[in-house]
């Protein structure tokens, strides 16, 4: 095994659950940005192929049915075709996105003695703390988490908080590395378009950890003031949608709120380019589910949008409080209300924060820079494995 240089490409076997839900566009962007490594995806099922075209994807199939293959693979945790491909082709390492997929990668890593990287994103860490670890679909992950920690050559997280939690769970400190997911700043820019009414945007799954219930209550408080104009756009869907719609009705702001559902990433970029304030009020749930670094907050910042976020996960690394946006405690509706009122009533402040936010993204979260850093981690574990 040799470490790739400028004239050669390394091969990565990347394990994911599904390739690819809209909520994981960051994985697609990361794959596309690689320069010295080529990524082959091994996953349970292929979805949204029209939106995420990519030829190097292998899925299980049984009796001519991918659905049947996916069910067997999920329960058995192994697929012979994956094993044959990894044995026949010259892979340099295995990379599992989400700790839960480390379970599926583990047999091949051990069988073929390949370097192993695992990226944890938040829910996968919460699953090892909370009651979800006892669910039928999670028990294997919980039982094998120690083996994942021991076998992996590097454990990547998007926040210091997640790294500290993994250490508490028994992960070796020397294997942990905080690696921020990047954003392609060139794809996210503010639209040169005048808007009479400021737009507040929330993007994400309608789940408890996103904290949208608190954001909408804050919106209701601010927009109930006749002197404050604003409209709210929500991009996403999920089980909490009925509750969120009820909060909107109770707050009397139905005419100012639009639920657009889950939309393609191109539509997210279009809306963010025409957004004035973004809200990312994430919280830790009772089951320990949490966010890590929120990529859409970086995309909004790249569009010169000031972001209101919480002291949660990697959000404080994205927002410089009082300079590019505001940070408030989790579940603090009054603090969210105050921050939102300040931004809606001060367009000059919004513009100043927005310009600073874009510069921060260019300086600290460039996709090219972050993928180069990832490739350096790949180089390191490949070199260490060769030396051993």
Domains of the chain by residue range: 10-182+366-387, 185-364
- Are the C-beta atoms of 362 and 183 separated by less than 8 Å? no
Which pLDDT value is given to residue 136?
66
Q: What would the two tokens of residue 127 be?
A: 């699953």
Fold assignment, 10-182+366-387:
Rossmann fold (3.40.50)
pTM for the model stands at 0.85
Domains 10-182+366-387 and 185-364 share a fold: yes
CATH architecture of 185-364: 3-Layer(aba) Sandwich (3.40)
Nearest-angstrom CA–CA distance, 295 and 298: 5
Dihedral class, residue 198 (left if φ above 0, else alpha if ψ from -120 to 50, else beta): beta
Three-state DSSP state, 39: strand
For 244-260, what is each residue's pLDDT tens digit? 999 999 999 999 999 99
The runs of H, that is alpha helices, within the chain are: 25-33, 66-76, 80-88, 99-112, 123-129, 139-151, 160-168, 212-223, 241-250, 265-272, 295-302, 315-318, 333-344, 347-364, 367-387
Task: Give me the residue label for tokens 């829910």.
Answer: 123
Nearest-angstrom CA–CA distance, 29 and 266: 13
Which pLDDT value is given to residue 6?
47
The one-digit pLDDT tens for each residue of the chain (388 residues) are 445 554 458 999 999 999 999 888 889 999 999 999 999 999 999 999 998 999 999 999 887 888 898 888 888 888 999 999 999 999 999 999 999 999 999 999 999 999 999 999 988 888 887 676 777 677 888 889 999 999 999 999 988 889 999 999 999 999 999 999 999 999 999 998 888 899 999 999 999 999 999 999 999 999 998 889 999 999 999 999 999 999 999 999 999 999 999 998 889 999 999 999 999 999 988 888 888 888 999 999 999 999 999 999 889 999 999 999 999 999 999 999 999 999 999 999 999 999 999 999 999 999 999 999 999 999 999 987 666 5
Pairing of strands 325-328, 116-120: unpaired
- Are the C-beta atoms of 99 and 20 separated by less than 8 Å? no
């Amino acid at each position: 095994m040799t470490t790739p240089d400028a004239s050669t490409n390394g091969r990565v076997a990347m394990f994911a659950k599904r390739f690819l839900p809209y909520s994981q566009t960051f994985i697609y962007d990361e794959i596309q940005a690689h320069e010295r490594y080529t990524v082959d995806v091994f996953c349970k099922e292929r979805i949204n192929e029209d939106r995420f075209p990519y030829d190097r994807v292998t899925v299980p199939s049984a009796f001519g049915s991918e659905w049947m293959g996916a069910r067997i693979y999920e329960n058995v945790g192994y697929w012979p075709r994956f094993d044959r491909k990894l044995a026949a082709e010259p892979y340099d390492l295995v990379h599992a996105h989400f700790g839960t997929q480390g379970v599926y990668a583990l047999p091949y890593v051990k069988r073929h003695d390949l370097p192993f990287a695992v990226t944890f994103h938040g829910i996968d860490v919460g699953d090892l703390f909370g009651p979800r670890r006892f669910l039928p679909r999670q028990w294997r992950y919980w039982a094998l988490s120690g083996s994942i920690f021991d076998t992996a050559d590097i454990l990547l997280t998007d926040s210091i908080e997640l790294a500290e939690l993994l250490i508490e769970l028994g992960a070796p400190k020397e294997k942990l590395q905080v690696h921020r997911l990047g954003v392609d700043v060139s794809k996210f820019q503010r639209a040169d378009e005048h808007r009479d009414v400021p737009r507040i945007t929330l993007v994400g799954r309608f789940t408890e950890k996103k904290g949208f219930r608190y954001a909408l209550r804050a919106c209701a408080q601010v927009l109930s003031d006749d002197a404050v104009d604003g409209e709210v756009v929500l991009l996403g869907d999920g089980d909490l949608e009925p509750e969120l719609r009820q909060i909107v009705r109770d707050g009397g702001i139905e005419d100012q709120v639009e639920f657009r559902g889950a939309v393609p990433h191109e539509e997210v970029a279009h809306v963010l380019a025409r957004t004035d304030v973004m809200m990312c009020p994430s919280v830790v749930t009772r089951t320990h589910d949490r966010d890590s670094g929120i990529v859409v907050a970086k995309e909004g910042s790249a569009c010169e949008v000031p972001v209101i976020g919480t002291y949660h996960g990697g959000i404080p690394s994205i927002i410089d409080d009082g300079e590019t946006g505001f940070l408030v405690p989790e579940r603090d509706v009054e603090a969210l209300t105050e921050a939102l009122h300040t931004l809606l009533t001060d367009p000059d402040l919004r513009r100043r924060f927005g310009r600073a936010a874009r510069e921060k993204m260019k300086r600290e979260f460039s996709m090219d820079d972050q993928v180069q850093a990832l490739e350096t981690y790949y180089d390191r574990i490949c070199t260490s494995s060769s030396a051993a």
